[in-house]
Each structure stands twice: as C-alpha cells, then as structure tokens.
Amino acid sequence: MALSVGDQFPSGVKFTYIPYSPDLEGVTACGIPIAYDTEKEFPSKKVVIVSVPGAFTPTCTANHIPPFVEKIKDLKSKGADEIIVLSANDPFVQAAWGKALGGYKQLIFASDGNAAFSKAIGKSVDLSSKGFGIRTARYAIIVDHGKVTYIEQEPGPGVSVSGVDAILAHL
C-alpha cells in the first residue's frame, strides 16, 4: 500500500520502543520494550515520524537526527506532540542510540521490526549488498490527527526532505 498526503494513516501499525525512565538513563541500561500503537495514539495528536536506515550510522548519527534533538522546542512550538525516530534496528539499539544522542527524554526512538511498516508503504531499502539486509529508507511523515499531511523520501544520499528544516516548514 502506498501512503500519500491526504490518506488516513493505516490501521494496525505498531512500533516497539523503550519508554524513558530515570533509572534507564545509562546507555547500557536495558528496559522492557512496549508497543506504540498508532491506532490509539495518532487520532489525538500531531506526530512526526523520521525514518533512518540505521542507528549509529554516519549520516543518521552525525547529520540527520541531532538537529531534531536540538530543535525539539521549535518542533513542539509548531504543534508536534511527538517525534518518533524510526529504524529497523531493535528497540534496545534504538534506546541506546537515543541516549547517546541526548534525545531519549524528548523523542521516541522506535523500532520498525524487520522494516515491516516501511516495506508495506514502499519505503524500505535493500542494503543486503553491504550486509545490512532490508532497512527502513530515509523518509519523514507528518501525521495530523490520523491524517498524513507530509510524506517524503530522500531522493539520494544526504538529508533534505526528511530533515528538521523540511519538517518545520511543513508543520
């Protein structure tokens, strides 16, 4: 199923994440993953999903996600209730990455296990030639009370249409 601006966000989508807890602040502290049920959460919120091919990878760690951490107040002031950083990495890796980037308290670092959601909407990438398997592509979605108002995938290497400035311009 393709997903386009104006579409209702698909029902039944659940991501997995480890919620913030003060006793889990250390990068090696492990919590228990829980489901983020978009069907329950999205109807009452404006949510930004930022998808990356992998946690702790060069572009994702150096260029893509740090600006979201730095500009969280700007995103919230423009109406974003939640920002979800999504990748096919497991929720333990996602949580550790969020802690390492200093964004674990403010953003939800969630797992799209096996890139299932990304594959379903045509936004996965096959990085098997590099030994990484199927991953989430680099893309962003804004969901406003259940309706998709922005969805763009990067056309090539780098960060533009899925970066924080593009998101701020569309909130």
Measured CA to CA, the distance from residue 166 to residue 130 in angstroms comes to: 29
Is residue 1 pLDDT above 80, yes or no?
Answer: no
Residue 116 in tokens: 């299932």
Greater confidence, 24 or 66?
66
Mean pLDDT within 74-83: 98
Give the mean pLDDT of the chain.
95
Q: What is the reported pLDDT for 166?
A: 98
Residues identified as active-site: 60
Q: What is the reported pLDDT for 131?
A: 86
Mean pLDDT within 135-143: 97
Cβ atoms within 10 Å of 75's Cβ, excluding its own: 21
Band of pLDDT at residue 76, cut at 50, 70 and 90: very high
Contacts of 54 (CB under 8 A, 6+ apart): 60, 87, 88, 89, 132, 135
| pTM for the predicted model, two decimal places | 0.95
Give the homologous superfamily in CATH for domain 1-10+33-43+60-150: Glutaredoxin (3.40.30.10)
Phi-psi region of 146 (alpha: psi -120 to 50; beta: other; left: phi over 0): left
- The three-class DSSP label of residue 108 is strand
> Which helix (H) or strand (E) covers residue 13, if one does?
none
H-assigned helices in the chain: 38-41, 58-59, 66-70, 72-77, 91-101, 116-120, 164-170
pLDDT more than 90, % of the chain: 88
Every domain of the chain and the residues it spans: 1-10+33-43+60-150
Measured CA to CA, the distance from residue 167 to residue 61 in angstroms comes to: 18
